[in-house]
Amino acid sequence: MTAYPAWTPASRPGIVPLHPYGFGTILARSFVALRHNPKVLLGFALVVQAVAYILVTVAIGGVAIASFSRLDTVAPGSDEFDAITAGSVALTGITALVLGVLSGALGVIVQGVVVAEVAHAVVSEKPTLRAVWGRVRPVFWRLIGYSALTIGVVVIVVGVLAGIVTLLVIAATWVGALVGVLFFLALIPLYLWLTPKLFLVPSVIILEQAPVFRAIARSWQLTRGRFWSTLGVIVVISMAFGLVAQVISIPLSLVSGLVPAIIAPTGDSDVSTVIGFIALQVVGQFGILLVQCIALVVQSTSAVLVYVDARMRVEALDHDLQSYVEARDAGSGDLSDPYLVGVGRIVERPAPVPFGATPAFAGYGPPAGTAGYAAPAGYGPPSAGGYAPAPQGYAPPQGPAVPQVPTSGATTEPSPPAVDRSPTTWAAPGSSEDA
């Protein structure tokens, strides 16, 4: 008796199909990921960003109050007043810079969690935050190192250019202003060129467990030939969420300017006026913070999808992912990470067929001993433009008839009448010629 394998249901679809996809798919599916696992994606990002924003605001405000409150102890306009003012501004600025860097590090952690979760969502898995963090934790310091490296390079470049402009302004004001404008304009295309090239670095660090500089080189390699599509994804998402943030902030700023006049028309700043103003500012900042969190999640998701699409096209990652999904759904255990199976593998593509040449089918080739295929029946000799059709009425030459010799005991059948191949004139049935 023949044993048939047990029936297994079809594999669950992920947030993207397991084959290479285009610009529209990457852009659309980047928003779909939010609905796949909102607790891990949006919830974690919102909590981390909100905590970072509150801590940074409180710390900067505390340092500013502590430093500027010393101005009450000295006479305005004195040398000590000017020195305390300059020191307070510098101290507050340094505090804001350091805390901003630390807040950016927290943003990198959020991006790492999003990358790990979306990698699971591609193969239709919905992990918990603990499982996602287990994938990010081994490369946590690499993410921090990459963030510190990028911030350090930006600070050095901007500092050097600012120093050059300052020296030129001291020497000649108009020359320094002109050079400063040229430097600013030159930084825009540089930023637009480097951002797509380094867009996949966090994805490579997390999914391939690569060191920082190898991840930079890998991102540069995977985005080769995909520069404009990657830049388009970045620009569209940034502009869309920037517009949404402006839509939220502009009305709130207008309302916040009218609230004091509405609550206290006489100009008395009582407690209710202050509380109303603070509450309105908190609501507005929370709305902007929510938009920023969604933008960070969507942009991080698009980076993972660009990474997966690039590896599908170059390294056939789609086959590894499909094999993993089928084996997992069939009940196999102890499966290898599909994102580590074919790292760096180059899949050979068939050579392009020249224009006008006959494509060769798999497993078939031209007849042995010939340079090509023979002309189709009914066509004349080749000409400059190819095989020319034979003239009307032309019939291929017939070879000499071979007489059939009957064998012993066999009877010969009469040959069928010859078919007249001369051209005839067609007439409708029932006409005089058909009679």
Tens of pLDDT along the chain (435 residues) come to 444 455 556 666 677 888 888 888 888 888 877 777 777 777 787 888 778 778 877 887 787 777 777 777 777 767 777 777 777 777 777 777 777 777 777 778 888 888 988 888 888 888 888 888 888 889 988 988 898 888 888 888 888 888 888 888 888 888 888 888 888 898 899 989 999 999 999 999 999 989 999 999 999 999 888 888 888 888 888 888 778 777 766 776 676 666 666 655 555 555 555 566 666 666 667 777 777 778 888 888 888 999 998 888 888 888 888 888 888 888 877 788 888 887 877 776 554 445 455 555 444 455 555 555 555 555 555 554 444 554 555 555 555 555 555 544 444 455 555 555 545 555 545 544 444
Q: Tokens for 57?
A: 């605001």
Residue 19 Cα to chain centre, angstroms: 14
The CA distance from 124 to 338, in Å, is: 13
Helix pair 173-197, 227-263: axis angle to 10 deg: 120
Instruction: Name the helix (H) or strand (E) containing 388.
Output: strand 386-389
The DSSP letter of residue 3 is P
Q: Tokens for 52?
A: 């970072």
**Residue 193 CB coordination number (10 Å):** 11
Which residue is associated with the tokens 């994805």?
A: 203
Write the single-letter amino acid at 388.
A
* Short-list 16, 435, 31, 421, CA closest to 233: 31
User: Taking the model in full, what pTM does it have?
Assistant: 0.68
What 3-state DSSP class applies to 385? coil
Q: Tell me, what's the pLDDT at 266?
A: 57
* Short-list 337, 301, 302, 298, CA closest to 320: 337
Q: Tokens for 356?
A: 């006008």
**Residue 110 CB coordination number (10 Å):** 21
First to last CA, the chain: 69
Give the E-state strand segments of 59-123 in sequence order: none
Nearest 10 degrees: Cα torsion 106, 109, 114, 117: -140
Q: How many residues does the chain have?
A: 435
The DSSP letter of residue 420 is -
The CA distance from 49 to 273, in Å, is: 28
The CA distance from 256 to 285, in Å, is: 12
